[in-house]
């Protein structure tokens, strides 16, 4: 704001100085309307056609109106710039958005077009169960997953059905049942892409039940069985955090 006030004061100072300069430049104008005094006695009048002295030569009056108009234009430009700067300074600065925490990763099914055309009743049970799971209707979803696992215990979606059945328990806070089902999934389908996630969830289910020994044991098994998985790296962080917390007690 001090910078803007200085620009405005400078503009008006330039205007005052120019007006003062113009008043000095035009101080001779009144004398031009008076006739020239006669030459003193003994002084010869200039001969006809003889050039008069430079001091006596009339000077061309500068265009005062044009100078004033130029100055007013410049002042108007400075005022417009000052107004623009003040508007920019007064504009509210948007506050930086806080970083949103990353949502927990829940493995997605291997295909979104399941069940394929001509699928049997078991396949339809899985598709319906997953739809209900996404709608957070967990009890109804478990019913459909149970039907699928009963009809196709080794079916192409058996691992996914067991995982989402277990997680439906976890989402409802039924951690004991969730731990049992996650364990079944990891044991029955160790090569599934969902197996590391099932073991990590199993460990969390134990932690929710205050079973610290089972929790840490499950995380160590996860790290040993799937050392290169993202879940194993997450488990390592959690175990390190547990050690630091135990050391500060």
Q: Is residue 33 part of a domain?
A: no
Give domain status of residue 179, yes or no.
Answer: yes
In a domain, 82, yes or no: yes
Answer for the pair 245, 214: CB distance below 8 angstroms, yes or no. Answer: no
**Scanning the structure block, which residue is given the tokens 């993202």?**
230
Single pTM value for the model: 0.53
pLDDT of residue 27: 45
User: Is residue 144 domain-resident?
Assistant: yes
Same domain, 138 and 232: yes
User: In terms of domains, do 240 and 146 share one?
Assistant: yes
78 and 128 housed in the same domain: no
Is there a single domain that holds both residue 140 and residue 232?
Answer: yes
**Residue 65 pLDDT:** 60
Does residue 149 fall inside a structural domain?
A: yes
Write the CB contacts of 170 (distance below 8 Å, at least 6 apart in sequence): 178, 182, 201, 204, 205
Q: Is 76 a member of any domain?
A: yes
Same domain flag for 203 and 154:
yes
Residue 6's pLDDT is 59
Q: Between the CA of residue 68 and those of 24, 41, 130, what are the distances in Å?
A: 15, 45, 82
Q: Are residues 175 and 126 in the same domain?
A: yes
Q: Are residues 138 and 231 in the same domain?
A: yes
Do 75 and 133 share a structural domain?
no
Q: Are 193 and 167 in contact (CB under 8 A)?
A: no
pLDDT number for residue 242: 74
Closest to 192 in 3D by CA, of 151, 156, 218, 228: 156
Is residue 60 one of the residues assigned to a domain?
A: no
pLDDT of residue 70: 65
Range(s) of the domain holding residue 1: 1-25+65-88
- pLDDT the model gives residue 123: 85
Question: 222-231 burial string, b = 16+ CB within 10 Å, else e?
Answer: bbeebeebeb
pLDDT of the chain, 249 residues: tens digit per residue: 555 555 566 555 655 555 555 454 444 444 444 445 555 554 454 444 444 444 444 444 456 566 666 666 766 666 666 667 666 665 555 444 434 334 344 444 433 334 443 345 568 999 999 999 999 999 999 999 999 999 999 999 999 999 999 999 999 999 999 999 999 999 999 999 999 999 999 999 999 999 999 999 999 999 999 999 999 999 999 999 876 666 666
Q: Determine contact, residues 170/205, Cβ cutoff 8 Å.
A: yes
| Residues 70 and 142 grouped into a single domain | no
Residue 111 resides in a domain: no
If asked whether residues 140 and 237 sit together in one domain, one would say yes
Do 74 and 189 share a domain, yes or no?
Answer: no
CATH number at residue 144: 1.25.40.10
Q: Which of 22, 5, 17, 21 is nearest to 78 (CA)?
A: 5
**Domain count within the chain:** 2
Shared domain check, 18 and 126: no
Quickly list H helices, 91-194.
Answer: 121-134, 138-151, 158-171, 175-188
**Contact yes or no for 165/149 (Cβ under 8 A):** yes
Looking at residue 193, what is its pLDDT? Answer: 95
């Amino acid at each position: 704001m001090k910078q803007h006030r200085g620009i405005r004061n400078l503009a008006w100072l330039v205007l005052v100085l120019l007006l003062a300069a113009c008043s000095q430049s035009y101080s001779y104008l009144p004398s031009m309307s008076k006739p020239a005094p006669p030459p003193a006695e003994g002084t010869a009048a200039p001969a006809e056609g003889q050039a008069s002295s430079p001091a006596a030569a009339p000077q061309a009056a500068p265009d005062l109106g044009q100078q004033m108009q130029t100055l007013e234009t410049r002042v108007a430009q400075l005022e417009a710039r000052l107004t623009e700067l003040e508007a920019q300074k007064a504009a509210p600065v948007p506050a930086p958005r806080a970083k949103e925490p990353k949502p927990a990763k829940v493995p997605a099914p291997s295909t979104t077009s399941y069940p394929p055309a001509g699928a049997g009743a078991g396949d339809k049970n899985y598709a319906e169960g997953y739809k209900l799971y996404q709608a957070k209707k967990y009890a109804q979803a478990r019913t459909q997953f149970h039907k699928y696992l009963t009809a196709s215990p080794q079916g192409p979606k058996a691992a996914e059905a067991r995982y989402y059945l277990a997680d439906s328990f976890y989402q409802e806070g039924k951690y004991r049942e969730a731990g049992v089902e996650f364990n079944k999934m990891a044991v029955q389908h160790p090569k599934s892409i969902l197996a590391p996630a099932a073991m990590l969830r199993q460990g969390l289910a134990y932690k929710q039940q205050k079973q610290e020994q089972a929790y840490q044991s499950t995380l160590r098994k996860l790290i040993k069985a799937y050392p290169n998985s993202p879940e194993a790296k997450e488990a390592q962080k959690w175990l390190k955090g547990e050690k630091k917390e135990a050391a500060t007690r």
